[in-house]
Structure formats: C-alpha cells, structure tokens
Amino acid sequence: MYSHTFINRELFVHFMALAIVAPGAMRAQGPTRPMPSPRDSTLPTLFHIGDSTVRNGSGDGSNGQWGWGDLTPCYFDGNRVNVVNRALGGRSSRTYLTGGQWDGVLAMLKPGDIVIMQFGHNDGGAVNDTSRARGSLRGIGNETEEIDNLLTHKHEVVHTFGWYMRKFIADTRAKRATPVVASLVPRNRWENGAVQRNKKDYAGWAEEVARADGVAFLDLNEQIAREYDALGEAKVMPFFVEDRTHTTLEGAKFSARLVIAELRRLPTKPVGVYLLDEPAAVRSCKS
C-alpha cells in the first residue's frame, strides 16, 4: 500500500531536517532512511506518528521487530484510504518535532486526513546529554527549560510532554485534519501477576491532553494490558523480544488488532468508513 515516491517539497523538508541535526544525533536516534508517503494523493490518508513501538526499523521486520502500525493497513479499504506509518524509532514527542519528522507529515497533511499519535516510551530520557537528548519535561503544563543541546550544539527551549502533544493536535486541526491521541502500548513488565500500567505518567498525561482538547483517545496502555493480564505472562512472552519493549510479528499483530478494536469503538468514528468489515479484514490480514 505504500509508495516510496516523494514529492519535491517532502524531499526538501526531509533533507533540511537532517542538515540541522548533528551526526551523533542521527546515529543515536535511528538511521536516516526514506519514509513512506501516500500511495494515492487524491485519497484521504491515515497517518501514524510515534516511536519504534509503532514503526520499527524500516517497517518490514528485517530486524525481527515490528511496530503495531506496520500491521494496521490490512484492516482498511486501500481503494478508499492510504495508511501511512510515519513513526520513527528512537523519537520522543520532542525529537519527532525537533528532528523534522513532524514537518514531513505536515507537508503532506490535507483536509480529511487523520493522524494517530502515540508517544511516551522515549520521553522519559535525559533532557540534555551527548547520547540522545530526547527527554521532554514531565507533565502537561507550560513549563519550559532552556538548554544548549550537548548533542545538536543548538540552543533549545524544551517543553513538557503535554505541550508537544497539544502542538501536534493544534497543527493537525489547522490543516483541517483529525487528530487521534493514543496512550503508549505497555511494556512486557509484570508486577503481582499484572502488566505494569503508565496511568500515573505518560498514558495518563496523554489522556488528560486528549480530554482537555476534545480529541478522540485510544487507551492502548490499559486495553492491551488487560488483554495481557488475561493471557498471563508465559503466553505474552513470545510477543516481545528480550528488551521487553519491542514486539515480534506476533506481538505487533496482537496490538494492531486491539488498536483497530479501539478505533471501532470511538463514538466519532474518525476512520469508520474506511475500515473493512470483520470477515473481509480477517481475510485481508491473513493473506
């Protein structure tokens, strides 16, 4: 469903973004590579943005790891909508913006498109260091911290996780497109027989931002964790690689199915008209 043909503006944005980031930053936050673009520009597009739990590597499982966004296209009618996974491994809400990836999406975004945004896994990192410098400030307020970035060697104003999420929402709406906020998918970490949730931090903050801004919300952190709890730790283990964060193909398929179930349940039905019915989706995803 994906085309690797880029419009000139997209190429310009992509290479300009690379030009302003120090070489060490690119190595630390994922290799540079062509990103997918809509197959048919006349159709509406569903964009995924996020980190490696949404799109891992080049999105083809070449490293044995898959993101859930790689497995969603089979649920949609490709004659009616593009599904484009623009997530990138290593990115936080902050570095998806400062690294130029969000500008790349905005260059293509048009009225009627949808953007599903899931961040949080990398936002808890260091705000300023020589390794990744990708952390956002905790919470959803308007606090800022001015730094001289040790990685990019640029002055930067760092915002809270909530500020970056609101930025993505506002920019999406300005393009007359529809934002959908998702909480981060849970890691394979257990306590007292249950998967650990992130309600007190990034999952909870994502929900607060979505509710405050009147945006559709997918509580992937809670819904997927409930399914894991029901299966038990032993049956969930094959869904993950050893780092307990990144999913195998089996795990990504499991998460993608639940993402689609959550989308179907949204009262606003932002992608409902593009989803295949259940029997057709089952046939498509098995082929």
pLDDT tens digits for the chain (287 residues)?
433 333 333 333 333 333 333 333 333 344 456 899 999 999 999 999 999 999 999 999 999 999 999 999 999 999 999 999 999 999 999 999 999 999 999 999 999 999 999 999 999 999 999 999 999 999 999 999 999 999 999 999 999 999 999 999 999 999 999 999 999 999 999 999 999 999 999 999 999 999 999 999 999 999 999 999 999 999 999 999 999 999 999 999 999 999 999 999 999 999 999 999 988 888 889 86
Taking phi over 0 as left and psi of -120 to 50 as alpha, with beta for the rest, 232 belongs to left
Judged on CB neighbours under 10 Å (0-12, 13-18, 19+), 58 is middle
How far apart, in whole angstroms, are the C-alpha atoms of residue 172 and residue 162?
Answer: 15
205 in Cβ contact with 117 (< 8 Å): no
| Residue closest to 167 by CA, chosen among 176, 177, 159, 157 | 159
Render pLDDT for 96-136 as a digit per residue (tens, 0 to 9).
999 999 999 999 999 999 999 999 999 999 999 999 999 99
Q: Which two tokens stand for residue 199?
A: 């309600």
How far apart, in whole angstroms, are the C-alpha atoms of residue 53 and residue 32?
Answer: 18
| Domains of the chain, each with CATH number or no CATH | 8-286 (3.40.50.1110)
Which residue pairs, CB below 8 angstroms and at least 24 apart, start in 268-274? 268/216, 270/114, 270/178, 270/180, 270/216, 271/46, 271/76, 271/81, 271/114, 273/80, 274/44, 274/46, 274/76, 274/77, 274/80, 274/81
Query: Which residues touch 213 (CB under 8 Å, ≥6 apart)?
Result: 166, 169
150 in Cβ contact with 133 (< 8 Å): yes
Secondary-structure percent of the chain, ordered helix, strand, coil, rounded to 5: 40, 15, 45
Q: Which two tokens stand for residue 255?
A: 């998460």
How far apart, in whole angstroms, are the C-alpha atoms of residue 243 and residue 287?
Answer: 30
Q: How many C-beta atoms lie closer than 10 Å to residue 282's C-beta?
A: 13
- Bridge partner residues of 158 (DSSP): 145
- Quick one: three-class SS letters along 197-215? CCCCCHHHHHHHHHHHHCC
Q: Which two tokens stand for residue 71?
A: 């497995």
